[in-house]
Structure formats: C-alpha cells, structure tokens
Amino acid sequence: MSFDLDLFVIGGGSGGVRAARIAAAEGGARVALAEEYRMGGTCVIRGCVPKKLMVYASAFPGQIADARGYGWDAAAGGFDWPRFRTALEAELDRLERAYRSGLTGAGVTIHDTRATVLDPHTVQLATGQTLTARHILIATGGTPFVPDVPGAELALTSNDIFRLEALPRSILIVGGGYIACEFACILNGLGVQVTQYYRGAQILRGFDDEARGHVADAMAAQGIDIHCGADVLRMERAPGGGARVEATNGTDRTFDAVLYATGRRPNSAGLGLEPLGVQFGRNGQILVDGYSQTAVPSIFAVGDVTDRIALTPVAIREGHAFADTVFKGTPRQADHDLVASAVFTQPELAAVGLTEEAARDREPIEVYVASFRPMQTLFAGRQDRALFKLIVAQGSRKVLGCHIVGPGAAEMIQMVAIAIKMGATKEDFDRTCAVHPTMAEELVTMKKPIRRS
Ligand code: NDP
C-alpha cells in the first residue's frame, strides 16, 4: 500500500518536533507536521522558556538588595511589565522561527492548522485536505485543568499569565505543585502580593518531605502567604473588580486575580482516536507501550499527551526514541528511570532519585543532610538556608536520591544525576575532592548520617 507520507505528526511541541526532525533528517522519511497554534508547544510558547525568563526578571529586586550588603548604592526602581512582555514576545517569536527553520531545513512540511485522525493511516486537516501516512504520531501535549468550582470562569491559568495587560496588585494562587509554587515566587519577586491555597498538608507533594518544608518556609519568609489545607469553595466577581473568594478555611477575601495551577490534562480529546481503538487512561492520557506505540499499530504517541513524566526533556527523548525505532532501524525505549527535575522557586528545589520516604519503604537507608546559610547571601544579611541531602542504601552503599534546595540547585542536580545514573556509591562521592569555596562541595563532604532507618 502506498502512502502520501511516511510520518504525519500532530503537534509542534518538544516531542513532536524532535520526532519529525529525526525521522526526516536521519531516517530519510517523508514527514509532515500539523500545529494549530504556535510552533514550539508548551515549553517554548507558554511554559519553561517564558517562565524561566520571568524567574530571572523576578530575581533582580533580591539581587539588588544583596548588592547593598556588598557596598553598592543600588535601588531596584519600578518594574515595567509591558516592556518586559514586549521583549519576551520578541524572544518567543525568535524561538518559534528557529523551530520552524529546524523543521523545514530537515525537509518536514509544516501545516499551520488543526489535524484530526480519520483512520489508522489518514489525517484530515481543518482545511479539508486529507493525507495518508504509514505512521501517525500524536504529540498534542497537555492543557491546564481548572476544577469545576462556582466562578471558575474567573480563574486565570498559566497560559494567561504571560499575556496579562498589567500585573495585578494581589493574586490568589490555587495549587501546590510546580506551576503554583514557581508563579508564587515569580509574582512575589515582581512585587505582587501573593496568597497561595493548597488543599493538602504541605506544598510540592511527591518531593522529599524535608526539602518541601524547607522551600515552604523560605517562600513564607519572603512574604508569600501560604495556606495549606485550604481550597476554594466559590468565587464571584467583586463589585470593585477582581474576585471575591470563599475558601474551606473560613476566609472570604478579595483578590485582583486568581491563578489556578491545579494540574494539567492530556490533550487527547477530539482527535478522532476513540473509534479507532486507541486506549486511554483515567485522565485521558493515551496509553502506549515502552516504544510509545498505541493499541493501533500505526499510531504512536509521545510527550504530555501520554502522561508518563510531563517534562520537556522526557518528551524529546520519547520523540527521538520513536524516530530511531521506526525510521532508523534502531529500536529503543525512552528511559524514564532517574529523571532529575527542578522547581524554579526561590530558592530552587532540585531532585533526582528517591525521596527519603520512598527509599526507606524499600530498604534500609542512611540519610546525610547539610543545611547552612550560603556565604553569598549570608554576607548580604539574608537569612536564607540551603539544604543538601543524600539518601544512601545501607546494603549496596549506592546513592539512591539527592535533594538540593538553594541557589543553583537545578544546575547542580544535572551533575549529580550523572553520578547517580552511573550507580555511584556514597564512597565514590566521598573520594571526590571538593571544589572550594562552593555550596556543591557539601555533596562530597557530608561525613556522618543524621539518620538511619
Ligand atoms: P502538579 O501536578 O505539579 O500540581 C498540581 C497541584 O494542583 C497539586 O498541588 C494538586 O494537589 C493540586 N490540585 C489538583 N487538582 C486539584 C483540585 N481539584 N483542587 C485543588 N487543587 C488541586 O501540576 P502543575 O500544573 O503544577 O504542573 C503540571 C506538570 O508540568 C508538572 O507535574 C510537571 O511535570 C510539569 N512542570 C514542570 C516544571 C519544571 O520542570 N520546573 C514547571 C512546571 C510544570 P495534590 O498535591 O493534593 O494532588
């Protein structure tokens, strides 16, 4: 049977773009890709990239305050949000162009429109055109989820933050995950009065308990008003503007804006996949095997739409492994083990491997902790503390997990992840000479476990 194409990719985000590019440039495949919004997907257009630039923007008041501690006569002045937003949009345009030229340079045909699947080998574009392909890759990502509370239509999501006309004076952030905590710190740094409601007992569920507590304390010390065990009951438009919010903690308060950061859901509905026999999980995620293949052999899926690990580098690897498997004759599965991640709060939290809680359920462990005031901020008169934590298996001596809270934590964890991925033991860490004076030297100088369990 002959097809118009070897591969049709639906979705121009991290996973889809990588798969299309490798299949075309290295696999010699005839590839087309459809994207209904902007090329680059969540990471580039409304996620990691603009978020990180906002993290940088929000850090300046703290850095300028520190500069005074070092003898500089410095003051932050006012933050010009429209000026920042214009520069941000220009940068995103540049990145989008780079993604496009990367694809077209590899020989991929781009369709700037929505595509749906008609049968296991046919896609239909919103323009009405149909195309056949030997393989179809679904890489449609995810979308913010807002629970069905009365007044939910007043809620902003992370998609909206980058496009605000003006920064609000006050904001309620609902949720305690990556996005909620990152935006709480960003907006606080930019001068917005931030309140955060999280339904559970402690923010950042899934991370090491001690590290979560450390970040929560630091966020509160910076002036973020965190309420755990609190959720929104209802919202309504306040007479003077903003939203009036009644919450389960008995409060009734008005905020200029409310940001819901209550998770993301896979973008899998309405693609035409249900009647074809593609299987879905409880949250709408497309179920795939280790090779990212769905229950329909010609249809594959990668990235957030499969809800395995919702991180850009993971989607990229899944897309690459798919292209290697199907188009280069080198079958391989993306490796989801020991994936490091970082939450760009201030201070940053970064982790790889097991938390203390998960590790001690598995085997006897030792826990090494160093908590101290970093030289740089201590000198400036700040009270911030950094935390370094290693979880070590008593039997094999392998380092099972590392958790870092502090400036540069995300950069440091990338290096630690290599060692842990290689199976490094505590003794391997110990025989590595320290780099002095740094914070990271704590990783190789922690002598005695503070706990065994
Ligand atoms: P998360 O899953 O991290 O957090 C969702 C938060 O919303 C949790 O605190 C959850 O509470 C809460 N929540 C969920 N449903 C409800 C509800 N019905 N009512 C009230 N609260 C609710 O999702 P995010 O949206 O923050 O981020 C999505 C994913 O994107 C992340 O998991 C991560 O994989 C990725 N990401 C990564 C970043 C990075 O690498 N730095 C940055 C941003 C996103 P509970 O804990 O009780 O379930």
Per-residue pLDDT 10s for the chain (453 aa) are: 899 999 999 999 999 999 999 999 999 999 999 999 999 999 999 999 999 999 999 999 999 999 999 999 999 899 999 999 999 999 999 999 999 999 999 999 999 999 999 999 999 999 999 999 999 999 999 999 999 999 999 999 999 999 999 999 999 999 999 999 999 999 999 999 999 999 999 999 999 999 999 999 999 999 999 999 999 999 999 998 999 999 999 999 999 999 999 999 999 999 999 999 999 999 999 999 999 999 999 999 999 999 999 999 999 999 999 999 999 999 999 999 999 999 999 999 999 999 999 999 999 999 999 999 999 999 999 999 999 999 999 999 999 999 999 999 999 999 999 999 999 999 999 999 999 999 999 999 999 999 999
**Ordered structural domains, the chain, with CATH:** 5-144+265-327 (3.50.50.60), 152-262 (3.50.50.60), 347-452 (3.30.390.30)
Transcribe 373-399 into DSSP letters: --HHHHHTT----EEEEEEEETTT-BE
Rounded CA-CA distance 169/322 in Å is 46
Rounded Cα gap, residues 237 and 240, in angstroms? 8
Distance 184 CA to ligand 1 centre (A): 13
Question: Which residue has a Cα nearest atom 41 of ligand 1?
Answer: 343
CA 362 to centroid of ligand 1, rounded, Å: 26
Q: What ligand 1 atom has the least distance to the C-alpha of 158?
A: 25
Q: Which class for 83: exposed (0-12), middle (13-18), buried (19 or more C-beta within 10 A)?
A: exposed
Cβ neighbours, 10 Å, residue 113: 13
Instruction: Supply 250's token pair.
Output: 């008995």
206, 209, 298, 371 from 393: Cα distances, Å:
20, 18, 43, 21
- Give the 3-state secondary structure of 299-350: EEECHHHHCCCCCHHHHHHHHHHHHHHHHCCCCCCCCCCCCCEEECCCCCEE
Ramachandran quadrant class, 151 (left: phi over 0; alpha: psi -120 to 50; beta: rest): left
**Cα-to-centroid distance, 290 and ligand 1 (Å):** 24
Atom in ligand 1 nearest the alpha carbon of residue 343 = 41
Q: Report CA(403)–ligand 1 centroid distance (Å).
A: 19
Does the predicted TM-score (pTM) go above 0.75?
A: yes
SS3 string, 271-302, reads CCCHHHCCCECCCCCECCCCCCECCCCCEEEC
User: Atom 16 in ligand 1: which residue has the minimum CA distance?
Assistant: 262
- Give the DSSP letter of residue 425: B
Find all residues with CB under 8 Å of 217, minimum gap 6, and list them.
none
Predicted local confidence at residue 425, as pLDDT = 98
Residue 425 CA to ligand 1 centre (angstroms): 32
Mutation to probe ligand 1, out of 145, 228, 262, 309 (largest number of atoms < 8 A from CB): 262
448 exposure class (CB count in 10 Å sphere: 0-12, 13-18, 19+):
exposed
Give pLDDT, residue 7: 98
Distance CA 138, CA 315 (A): 12
**CA 306 – CA 286 distance, rounded (Å):** 5
CA angle, 212 as apex, 141 and 357 as ends, to 5°? 95
> Any residues with CB less than 8 A from the CB of 64 and at least 6 apart, and which?
74, 75, 76
Ligand 1 pocket: which of 178, 234, 265, 413 to mutate (most atoms <8 Å of CB)?
A: 178
Lining residues, ligand 1, CB within 6 Å: 147, 175-180, 182, 198-200, 205, 231, 261-264, 310-311, 341-344
Using the atom order of ligand 1, give the atom closest to the CA of residue 179: 26
CA of 28 to the centre of ligand 1 (A): 39
Ligand 1 atom closest to the CA of 203, numbered from 1? 9
CA dihedral (89, 91, 92, 96) in degrees, to 10, reads 140
Q: Which residues are catalytic?
A: 436
Tell which residue, 173, 286, 177, 316, has the closest CA to residue 231: 173
Which pLDDT value is given to residue 1? 83
Q: Whose CA is nearest to atom 18 of ligand 1?
A: 147
Q: Which 3 state secondary structure label does DSSP give 140?
A: coil
Atom of ligand 1 nearest to the CA of 176: 9
Nearest Cα to 441, choosing from 376, 384, 388, 365?
388
